[in-house]
Structures are given as structure tokens and as C-alpha cells.
A and B are shown apart, each in its own frame.
Chain A
Amino acid sequence: MAILVTPQTKVLVQGITGSFGAKHAQLSIDYGTLIVAGVTPGKGGQFFEHGGKKVPIFDTVAEAVKQSGATASAVFVPPPFAADAILEGADAGLELVVAITEGIPVRDMVRVKRAMQGNTKTRLIGPNCPGLVTPGEGKDSHGGCRIGIAPGYIHKKGNIGVVSRSGTLTYEAVWQLTSRGVGQSTCVGIGGDPVNGTSHLDVIKLFNADPETTGIIMIGEIGGSAEEEAAEWIKANCKKPVAGFIAGATAPPGRRMGHAGAIVSGGKGTAEAKIAAFKAAGIGVAVTPSEMADTLLKMM
């Protein structure tokens, strides 16, 4: 089953003709993902061609959805226009909008969140995230659904769910699993911004309900309290083993560590507090980031 997306999910790319969007649309096509449409205002009627595939480009998401049957989108639109692109995806009735764009102003995301409040049809993942991957059955997990910028080949089809705010740290965890012969159901990067569409807890609930997922790796970092909220829920409700790691124990207070949301302010959002919450919830805490997979596997 996996969560959120399957290899059959039809995906459109907003910003498919930009260099970043184009590159990753190509990599997704190479991975075997069903990229069925692109959207670039003003370029409707043209085609995005790669690997013998001709992907039609539309001026609007609504038109792209109508013509292609896409249910999910990857947003690669530059920051000043990204909020508009996300809400256009929601307006078009997409089930999933994955915002890869880094650097969207917080105020824009505050408005997006408000506008999507009560919208039960569209789920937003991100922004400032690597996206998500449901690995396929082919060589190097080919044939899966890759929305975003994660390297597809490091995955392997299997039963571990991975959720994280970070990109490369997620790849690290996935690679640790794959090199030990352990596959993943779905790997979700929820992004490093202070205002995002989907939280750790949202993804954990989906993994808990997914019969194919038998264990979960949750990677957090300093800032906010999303990890603590997830831990509290896990303690009371989660039926599956969860292992985790919190990055940023050595980060100085008051400084943003790369991610806009990774900041300890006013004594809140420290690694110590999050690790304590994990332990209190029975989540296996990897002592170093090298042991994320092993910590989970020991629990299973």
C-alpha cells in the first residue's frame, strides 16, 4: 500500500520548464514515475520531452488536472510565486501538493495555511523539503513514485516508513536501511521551514494505519515542538516500533542552522527536550546519526 503515493499515482510538475524543475522531472521520469503533465503559465500547448516521453505543458493546474488526471503535484516554482502555485494546486482539487521550493517568506506560508484550513481534499507537504518516495519493485527501486529531489536509487521497496525535516539526513537513514537489505514503504521529507503543510505527527498517523509499514524512523531537529507532539501521540497510540534521531544538540541558541525553522529560541525547541520526549514515548533514540537504522532494527 505505502502512504500518500503509489507507483500508479499520476504526477504533474509546476514549474517544469525551470532548470531545477526540469532536471528533477527528468530524474522522476527516469525512475519510472508517472509524470503526466507540466504547468508553466504562458507555455501551454508545448511539450516537455525526455527519454522518449512527451509530457504536455498547460497554462493552469486546473487544465492540467482535467486533461491528464493527475492527483499529485511537485512545486518547483521560485519563492515569490510559490504560495500562489500551492494554492492553485489546492484549487484544482489535487490530493497532494508537494512544495520543494526553498526560501518562501513565512508570511506567505501563514496565508497559505489559513487559506487551506478546512480543506480536507488537498494535503500540502513542505515547503523547503526533498519530497517523498514510494520505492518501486525494479532494479534500484525503479518504477516507484518519486515526487521531489530525493535520489531514487538509494531506496528499496519494503516496510519501513521514514519521516524527516531534512533532505540529506533522510537519504542517510534510507541508505543505512537499504545497505542492510531493509526496504522502505514510503519516505517523506516534511521540510525545514517553521510553517509547513504536514507535520511529523500527520505522517506518523498515516504510517501507523498503513498495513505495509511495520516500523518507523522519525528524524527531527531543533526548533518548534512538532517532534514532542508526535512523541506524545506515539506513546498513547502507535502500534509500531519507532526509532529516531534529533539533529542539533551542538547548535548554539538563537542561531538558525541552515533551515529557517532550525532555531532554539527562548530556551524552546532544544535537542535535549526532544530527545527526552522521544525516550518518554518509548521511541528508540539513535545515539549518533550513524545508528538510525540499527536502532530501529534492534527494536523489531
Chain B
Amino acid sequence: MNIHEYQAKQLLAQYGVNVPFEIPAKSLAEVRPAAEKIAASGSAKVVVKSQIHAGGRGKGTFKSGFQGGVKVTSSVDEAVEVAGKMFGQTLVTKQTGAEGRQVQTLLLAAGAKIKKEFYLAVLLNRETSRPLIMASTEGGMDIEEVAEKHPEKICKETIDPAVGIMPYQARKVAAALGLKGDLFNAGVKLITGVYNTWWECDAAMVELNPLAVVELADGKETVMALDAKISLDDNALYRHKNIMEMRDLNEEAPLEIEASKFALNYIKLDGSIACLVNGAGLAMATMDIVQHFGAMPANFLDVGGGASKDQVTAAFKIILSDPNVKGILVNIFGGIMDCNVIATGIVAAVKETGLKLPLVVRLEGNNVAAGKKTLAESGVAIINGDTMSDAAQKIVKAVGK
């Protein structure tokens, strides 16, 4: 699960990470009072930041034509004016895809005089099965590009989960960022806090880009998280009720939300062949074989190991809500599940949804003969696929007609 920047900073602040003074606004009416508080705090600038679950906001464009999802304004009035051009509008960035995301929350923040920008992240290193802190002096840049072109500019520190982050490790990272004096000590505290946020919140990734040295109104310098992104381990959400409440359904595809209600794992894609499969690996492989034979999959859909009739019916309805779908490929390897139960579910779903599109079903496994008989005698138009290859070719051909 992903959360918004303002929510990420709320979590980070709980673990002692220094963040700018900022206030989220969930309606246009909340913008002016928030901007006034920011101005009253002594900040000459008010930053208005669109809150969507995608990067590249600053360089994004609204569908209205307004440029930039993040704006630095010089007055409360200007902040309110800019907010009016962002609120409720759809922002398109390099990460949102062409459809963009509707902005429903704005973050108003005190403007910071940036002296230097860094990159800091905590993530799981799959090779060592241990947490890894990654830091770079090249802040505000695409870290993957830095990793490729200047790997020497990235500092990596592996944490032993038995003891957690040790102070010397935070000092190593702070030193690698070139922090000195008071900033060094502030950096150590911040780095430790970022790691602790990752560990305590069961995050998959915590990323500050940029982490910055900023000059305060009194001329003093400090380090703070100017931007923050946190994604959480879905499997651990059960022990974080406060974080679960941060879920924003507006950021999720409606069909994916509907699928999750039936414990179906569905991801919408751009192709025309809908796939209904049991098991994640087989579901991916089914998408791949559709592409191999010249069409594109419309979705990833794993109905799980013990799919019920209700789940199969729900799956069909979800698939059919996608207007791009021109044909359906069902691929079930019923190892333990009874293929006849699945076949009965498919027939019921076809009848209930009044399916008109071509449907190829490939069944294999337990009680498969009875399952195939049920499909054949059902009176509904189902094309039988014998192997994955046969089934994929048949659906591609049927749709191509």
C-alpha cells in the first residue's frame, strides 16, 4: 500500500525526523486558513503541493493545461489562486500514465531555502535479506540514473536486524553525505529516525528525495525531509491500524478495489484478452503466452487456490467491466480443486453475465473429464483449449476474427 507525502511525513515525524511546517487541505475552503498559518509561522513563501500517489509532480501538467503539480507562491492570495487551479483537477506525470490522477488533497508547506539536496532511502536488500540504507549526495535526481552512471556516489549501509541501526552506522551515512558540525549531528538523528520508521511501520520502502540542508528564517541551517514517499508491506498492515486508515481508495483503480472485496488478485492492463487463472505464477505465464501468440492481456487475475463459484462469477463481472476486453481466456490447473466445481462456476457466470464475447477454457487436473463434460453439455458457447498453448492460440484467433 502507498500513502501520500503528507501522511509519510506524519509517520516520519513520529520517529524524530525533521520535516517542514506543513498542513494538508482536503477542500478548497481549507486552503486559505492553512496558508495563513504557514505565512504566520514566518515563512515568506507558501508551497502548494498536489498529493497523488505518483512521482514527477513538479514537472507534471494538469489536463486543464495548468503547468506543475508543485508551486512555490509568494503570498497567501497567490497560494489560494494556485490551489484553485489544482484542486479537483487531473494531474498527468511521467508516472501516472495518460489518464492522470485527480488531485483531492493539497499540502501547504513553509518555503525552505535549500542549500544542498541529498537522497536517502531504506529498503529490503533481497540478496542479503537485510535492511539497507541507501544515500547519495545527488539529491533531487532519479536515483536509478545515479546508480547507473555514478555508482561511487551512492553509499550503502546494511543493517543487522538483530541489533537494529547502530549509531556508528548513522554516522557513516552522515559523513558520506558530507555533513559537518551541528548538521552532522542533526543528520545522524534524522537517518536513525528514517530507519526506525521503516522498521517500526513495516515499510517496504521509505524514500526522501530530496533530503535537504535548508536555511531557516534566522539564518541557521538544518537538515529536513522536503519530500517523502513510503510504501508499506501489505502483509503487515494488520498490526498497524493507524496506517491502514491512511489508505486512499481514490488512488486505486475501481476494478481492483472491487476485486479485493472477493479476495481476487486483479491488476488491470491495456490489452484485449482477459485472463482468469488460478495461481500467481500461472497467471503471469498465461499473460505471457497470450502476448507470444500476438495479442495483449487485458489483466492479471489470480482467483487463488480454492476459488468458489461466487468468486468465479465476481471475476467474470470484473473482467467484463473493462471495455477493452474482446475475449476471455480461462486457464485453471485444478490440482486439488475439483475441475467440475470450476466448470459449474464458469457456466453459471456465463449465464448470469449474459456473456457475448468469445470464451476459451482450458481445464486440467482433478476430475477434469467431468468438468469438460459440464462445459460441453452446458449449451453455452465455450471453446475448449487442451493445453495452454492451444487455448492461447484459440482465443487470439477468435478475437482476431
Contact = CB atoms under 8 A, between A and B. Distances in A.
A164 B281 contact: yes
Interface in A241-281: 245, 247-252, 255, 257-262, 266-267, 271
A166 B280 contact: yes
A175 B284 contact: no
Contacts of A171: 333, 335, 365
Given A27-B336, A290-B289, A290-B388, A106 B235 contact: yes
Interface residues of A, number: 62
A247 B267 contact: no
A261 B144 contact: no
A221 B281 contact: yes
Contacts of B296: 250
A131 to B, nearest CB: 12
Contacts of A219: 281
A151 B366 contact: yes
Nearest to B144: A266
Interface in A101-123: 103-111, 113-115
B284 A114 contact: no
Interface string B275-300: 00111111111111111100011001
A156 interface: no
A169 B204 contact: no
A111 B281 contact: no
A46 interface: no
A80 interface: yes
A150 B337 CA distance: 11
B281 A192 contact: yes
A108 to B, nearest CB: 8
A169 B161 contact: no
B198 to A, nearest CB: 9
Contacts of A259: 280-281
Contacts of B233: 105-107, 260
B141 interface: no
Interface string A222-248: 111110000000000000000001011
Contacts of A266: 143-144, 147
B138 interface: no
Contacts of B365: 151, 154, 171, 175
Given A192-B280, A258-B283, A258-B302, A106 B289 contact: no
A103 B283 CA distance: 19
Contacts of B352: none
A172 B362 CA distance: 12
Contacts, number: 171
A250 B297 contact: yes
B279 A168 contact: yes
A195 B333 CA distance: 26
B389 A291 contact: yes
Interface string A115-138: 100000000000000000000000
B160 interface: yes
B288 A249 contact: yes
B216 interface: no
Interface in A153-193: 153-154, 164-172, 175, 192
Nearest to A110: B161
Interface in A16-44: 27
Contacts of A251: 284, 287, 300
B129 A168 contact: no
B199 interface: yes
A288 interface: yes
A258 B236 CA distance: 16
A289 interface: yes
A209 interface: no
Interface string B205-244: 0000000000000000000000000000111101100000
Interface string B136-168: 000000011001000000000000111000000
A253 to B, nearest CB: 10
Interface of B: 124, 126-127, 129-131, 143-144, 147, 160-162, 199, 202, 204, 233-236, 238-239, 265, 267, 269, 277-292, 296-297, 300, 302, 305, 333, 335-336, 364-366, 387-390, 392
22 contacts: A27-B336, A103-B235, A105-B202, A107-B199, A111-B161, A150-B335, A151-B365, A166-B279, A175-B333, A175-B364, A175-B365, A194-B124, A226-B126, A249-B291, A250-B288, A252-B269, A257-B284, A258-B265, A258-B300, A259-B280, A266-B143, A289-B288
Closest 10 A/B residue pairs (Cβ): A166-B281, A258-B280, A168-B279, A151-B335, A290-B389, A169-B281, A105-B236, A289-B285, A247-B284, A168-B282
Interface of A: 27, 79-80, 103-111, 113-115, 149-151, 153-154, 164-172, 175, 192, 194-195, 219, 221-226, 245, 247-252, 255, 257-262, 266-267, 271, 287-291
